[in-house]
Structure 1
Amino acid sequence: MSVSKKLVGAAIAAAAGVALLAPATAFAGTNDNTCLSGDNCLYFNSNYQGAVAGFEFAVYDFAGYNFRGPGNGAGQPVKNNAASDYNNDPNCTVWVWYNHGYQGPADAIAPQRGLPQLQHTYNQNASQSWTC
Structure 2
Amino acid sequence: MLVSTAARRHRLRSMTLAGLLTAATLGGIGTAGAEGNPTGRSDYDYTTYQNPERCADQSEEFRFRFYFNSGYGGAWTNIGHPMHDLTVMHVGGDAGDVPLRYCDKGKGAGQVVGNNSASAYNWYRGYCATVFYNSWYRGASDRIAPNNGMNLSATYNNNKSIDFEAC
Distance in 2 of aligned mates of 1:130 and 1:3: 9
Contact 1:97 1:106 in 2 (8 A): yes
Contact 2:64 2:123 in 1 (8 A): yes
Contact 1:98 1:121 in 2 (8 A): yes
Contact 2:38 2:164 in 1 (8 A): no
The structure with the greater share of residues assigned to helix is: 2
Percent identity over the alignment is 32
Structure showing greater Rg: 2
TM-score, normalised to structure 2, is 0.63
1:30 match: secondary structure: helix
How big is the alpha-carbon RMSD for the aligned residues of Structure 1 and Structure 2? 1.8
1:113 to 148, 160, 167: 148
2:159 match: secondary structure: coil
> Relative to 1, partners in 2 of residues 1:4 and 1:70: Cα closer, same or farther, differing over 3 Å?
closer
Contact 2:115 2:159 in 1 (8 A): yes
Alignment partner of 1:48 is 2:82: no
> Relative to 1, partners in 2 of residues 1:90 and 1:51: Cα closer, same or farther, differing over 3 Å?
same
Higher relative contact order (CA 8 A, sep 6+): 1
Distance in 2 of aligned mates of 1:95 and 1:4: 12
Write the mapping of 1:23-62 to structure 2, written as runs, cut at 5 A. 28=45, 29-30=47-48, 32-34=54-56, 35-37=58-60, 38-62=62-86
2:130 to 83, 88, 95: 95
Q: Which amino acid aligns with 1:114?
A: G
1:131 maps to 165
Distance in 2 of aligned mates of 1:3 and 1:47: 26
TM-score, normalised to structure 1, is 0.78
2:120 maps to 85
Gaps of 5+ in 1: 9-24
